[in-house]
């Protein structure tokens, strides 16, 4: 079982995730920075052509990211509360899964079945919660005949089966 290599793989993946999240943060901060220091604009005119284009590209990108972020935030604020609760549960499950992966990257994956069962219980319950959100969301025309109680009962049943199997697999 090539666990050192697997660990290296996990570390690489985590590194990439961190890098992309840091890139997003940089974009955001640069956007805020740009907004705060508008008076630096006239100086950009005196730079060379390539630098100008680069600065313009970066500014459109940051402006886009900023606008994107704002639109998403305003659209999300309009969702009903029950869906927001489900979303919170999904985020919690995903964060727990990431913590488990990081822990496995640090200490190694020896009881592999335990690692898999822990990870899959988080991922599984997140996925089932997404399915519940889809079925309960009033905007989905396909599920308008489905009573939300039935959707929740299915969700609970699937989670019970999931966790029973997890407990058997945990070792």
Partner 1 sequence: MVAKMDKSATDLLTSPGVSSLFKSLKLKTKQQELLIRVTILFLVYVLAFITRLFSVLRYESMIHEFDPYFNYRVTQFLTEKGFYEFWNWFDSESWYPLGRIIGGTLYPGLMVTAALIYWTIRFLRFSVHIREVCVLTAPFFASNTTLVAYFFGKELWDTGAGLVAAVLIAICPGYISRSVAGSYDNEGVAIFALLLTFYLFVKAVNTGSLAWALASAFGYFYMVSAWGGYVFIINLIPLYVMVLLITGRYSMRLYVAYNCTYILGMLLAMQIRFVGFQHVQSGEHMAAMGVFFLMQVFYFLDWVKHSLNDPKLFHTFLRITVTCAVGLGAIALGVGTASGYISPWTGRFYSLLDPTYAKDHIPIIASVSEHQPTAWSSFMFDFHILLLLFPAGLYFCFKRLSDATIFIVMYGLTSMYFAGVMVRLILVATPAVCLISAIAVSATIKNLTQLVRAKGKASHSASGKGTTSSKASSKGSLDQSLPFQRNGAIALLLGAFYLLSRYAIHCTWVTSEAYSSPSIVLAARGAHGNRVIFDDYREAYFWLRQNTPPDAKVMSWWDYGYQITAMGNRTVIVDNNTWNNTHIATVGRAMSSYEDEAYEIMRSLDVDYVLVVFGGVTGYSSDDINKFLWMVRIGGGVFPVIKEPDYLVNGEYRVDKGAAPKMLNCLMYKLSYYRFGELTTEYGKPPGYDRARGVEIGNKDIKLEYLEEAFTTSNWIVRIYKVKPPNNRSLKCVGIALLISSIAVTMSYEAAKLIPTTSSELWLCFHLGKARSVASPGFEKLI
Binding site for partner 1 (CB under 8 A): 2, 5-6, 8-9, 12-13, 16, 20, 61, 64-65, 67-68, 71-72, 75-76, 112-113, 116-117, 120, 123-124, 127-128, 130-132, 134-135, 140, 142-143, 146, 151, 154-155, 157-158, 161-162, 165-166, 168-169
Nearest-angstrom CA–CA distance, 66 and 171: 47
Identify which of 77, 99, 104 has the alpha carbon closest to the alpha carbon of residue 3.
104
Nearest-angstrom CA–CA distance, 115 and 101: 8
Least CB distance to partner 1 at residue 25 (A): 14
91 within 8 A of 120, measured Cβ to Cβ? no
Least CB distance to partner 1 at residue 120 (A): 6
117 within 8 A of 170, measured Cβ to Cβ? yes
Nearest-angstrom CA–CA distance, 124 and 103: 19
Nearer to partner 1, 86 or 128 (CB): 128
Least CB distance to partner 1 at residue 143 (A): 7
Nearer to partner 1, 33 or 64 (CB): 64
Using only C-alpha atoms, the chain has a radius of gyration, in whole angstroms, of: 23
Nearer to partner 1, 36 or 75 (CB): 75
Nearer to partner 1, 20 or 41 (CB): 20
Nearest-angstrom CA–CA distance, 20 and 30: 15
Nearest-angstrom CA–CA distance, 13 and 96: 16
Least CB distance to partner 1 at residue 141 (A): 9
Nearer to partner 1, 45 or 77 (CB): 77
Least CB distance to partner 1 at residue 18 (A): 12
């Amino acid at each position: 079982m090539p666990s050192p290599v697997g660990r290296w793989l996990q570390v690489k993946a985590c590194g990439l995730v961190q890098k992309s999240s840091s890139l997003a943060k940089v974009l955001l901060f640069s956007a805020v920075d740009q907004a705060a220091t508008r008076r630096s604009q006239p100086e950009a005119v005196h730079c060379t052509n390539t630098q100008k284009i680069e600065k313009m590209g970066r500014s459109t990108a940051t402006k886009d990211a900023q606008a994107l972020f704002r639109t998403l935030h305003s659209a999300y604020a309009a969702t009903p509360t029950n869906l927001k609760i489900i979303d919170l549960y999904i985020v919690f499950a995903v964060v727990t899964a990431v913590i488990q992966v990081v822990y496995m990257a640090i200490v190694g994956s020896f009881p592999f079945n335990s690692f898999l069962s822990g990870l899959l219980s988080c991922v599984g319950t997140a996925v089932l919660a997404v399915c519940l959100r889809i079925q309960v969301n009033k905007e989905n025309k396909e599920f308008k005949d489905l009573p939300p109680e039935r959707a929740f009962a299915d969700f609970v049943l699937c989670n019970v089966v999931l966790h029973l199997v997890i407990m058997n697999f945990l070792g």
